[in-house]
Chains A and B, each alone.
Chain A
């Protein structure tokens, strides 16, 4: 199975909005609403930010939102803050009953 495609890096200024894309195929992202997003600060474990394409776990800021169109899922961070600087990974269930991650996106707050 191939990794989902994410941009290597995205940057924005404090207060701005940024969007991270996650592109797969009809066998994963496009075929199921089991897309999730994780935030990982350096040296830490990943943290669930979005599940089932657009749902937020309890305690996650509503500045984080998820969506999907066709084979591409997206994570939008609005009102960008310094603490949002981290690596972000998407993941999706696949038609083979497996899970695949994206390659990761480094978010930089300018």
Chain B
């Protein structure tokens, strides 16, 4: 049973870089049939797709975040990661990692991790 687990700091200072890692267990991040995605949810608000990355490193990003986002895959550790630069309070959210099919749906999700941006 494939599982996803987010990890990273719970608190980030404004203007700094948010870095999160998602560890994939029970399966391989090098699967040729899936992308790996990040989705976030500000407290009390809806879901926002951040971006999706293939194990080769190619990916797609939300246009509203593209200039600040980098996503990558670490095949040796079976992980993928998210870097978001120049964070503000608006980036405070629960961040989910997820497995994405070629047909743009998310069939497996991590439990999510709340990241607070402090001023």
* A52 engages B105 (CB within 8 Å): yes
Contact stretch, chosen from A12-20, A72-80, A100-108 = A100-108
Tally of A-B residue pairs with Cβ under 8 A? 64
Docked complex Cα distance between A36 and B102 (Å):
13
CB-CB < 8 A to B103: which residues of A? 34, 51-52, 93
**Any B CB within 8 A of the CB of A38:** yes
B-side residues, CB < 8 A to A, are 39, 46-49, 52, 60-64, 96, 101, 103-107, 109-112
Q: Which has the most chain A C-beta neighbours within 10 Å: B60, B62, B105, B110?
A: B105
Nearest chain A CB to B82 CB, angstrom units: 15
* B60 engages A98 (CB within 8 Å): yes
A-side residues, CB < 8 A to B, are 1, 3, 34, 36, 38, 40, 44-48, 51-52, 57, 89, 91-93, 96-104
Docked complex Cα distance between A99 and B35 (Å):
13
* B109 engages A46 (CB within 8 Å): yes
Closest to B50 in A: A99
